[in-house]
């Protein structure tokens, strides 16, 4: 079972190193690339004003954040939700930079910083797959036909949910998640070392009859009158005594 966490954030501005802060975190759980419905979503009081430029993007005002918890108050819940699962983020250096700055502000209680090497950056995936094209979230949604009518403003949870859909498409489409509903005779789809989709042929069904059951069945067929079972004649089989 593969568990991943798709994550997005909103902030007071664009420069974590010069004092901008997180104000919203949204996370979506994926199991084998399928959204499970489990989410983590928090608004956070940044203890500083939201810039006008950022407000124009996400619409989250200072008044909306005034009574919200500090990052220090929600960090344990956030980390418990994520666990050791890989993070999936669009333009990962931005969000990881803000998260690591928030961690650093916790002082001695700070958890280890997030290593970008452990994060799946969907922007990099998109750039490799669609070289030279626009690869922001809106452009990718348009390319893959993903509905964004709910998205009048940026929002961490909604954007994470949309990004989860984009991520599956970047991996090759919804067939990558068929493993959750697979039967033994259906085709299996896996990911290769380079993230490409590798189809594997159908697996044959296991025999469900034991040898003893086969013997009893043959004995029963032999008791049938009128020349035995007609399908034996059709298949050219000899009757067993």
What pLDDT sits at residue 216?
A: 78
Of 112, 141, 110, 137, give the one whose Cα is nearest residue 123. Answer: 137
- The DSSP bridge partners found for residue 34 are 31
Q: Which residues of the chain have pLDDT under 50?
A: 175-203, 239-241
CA distances from 10 to 181, 221, 227 (A): 35, 72, 79
- Give ranges for CATH 3.30.420.10 in the chain: 3-170
Contacts with 218 (C-beta within 8 Å, 6 or more apart), sequence order: 240
Do 72 and 107 touch, CB atoms closer than 8 A?
no
For residue 213, the model assigns a pLDDT of: 73
190 contacts 200 by C-beta, under 8 angstroms: yes
pLDDT tens readout for residues 148-188: 888 777 899 999 999 999 999 999 986 444 444 433 333 33
* 52 vs 50: CA distance, rounded Å: 7
Taking the CA atoms of the chain, what radius of gyration do you get in angstroms? 27
| 207 among known catalytic residues | no
Out of 33, 130, 154, 207, the active site residue is 154
Strand runs (DSSP E) across 90-159, as ranges?
119-121
Q: Does pTM surpass 0.75? A: no
> What is the model's pLDDT at position 84?
95
DSSP conformation letters of 149-176: TT-SS--HHHHHHHHHHHHHHHTTSGGG
Level-2 CATH architecture, domain 3-170 = 2-Layer Sandwich (3.30)
């Amino acid at each position: 079972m593969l568990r991943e966490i798709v994550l997005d954030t909103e902030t007071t501005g664009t420069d974590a190193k010069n004092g901008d802060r997180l104000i919203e975190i949204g996370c979506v759980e994926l199991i084998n690339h399928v959204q499970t419905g489990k989410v983590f979503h928090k608004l956070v009081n940044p203890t500083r004003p939201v810039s006008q430029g950022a407000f124009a993007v996400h619409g989250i005002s200072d008044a909306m954040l005034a009574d919200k918890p500090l990052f220090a108050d929600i960090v344990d819940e956030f980390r418990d939700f994520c666990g050791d699962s890989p993070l999936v983020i669009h333009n990962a250096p931005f969000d990881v930079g803000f998260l690591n700055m928030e961690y650093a502000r916790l002082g001695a209680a700070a958890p280890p910083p997030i290593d970008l090497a452990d994060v799946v950056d969907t922007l990099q995936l998109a750039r490799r797959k669609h070289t030279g094209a626009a690869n922001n979230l809106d452009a990718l949604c348009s390319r893959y036909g993903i509905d964004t009518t709910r998205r009048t403003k940026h929002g961490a949870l909604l954007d994470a949910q949309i990004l989860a859909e984009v991520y599956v498409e970047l991996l090759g489409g919804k067939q990558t998640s068929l493993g959750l509903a697979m039967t033994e005779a259906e085709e299996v789809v896996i990911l290769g070392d380079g993230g490409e989709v590798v189809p594997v042929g159908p697996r044959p069904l296991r025999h469900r009859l034991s040898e003893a059951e086969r013997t009893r069945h043959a004995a029963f067929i032999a008791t049938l009158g009128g020349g035995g079972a007609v399908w034996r004649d059709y298949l050219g089989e000899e009757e067993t005594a």
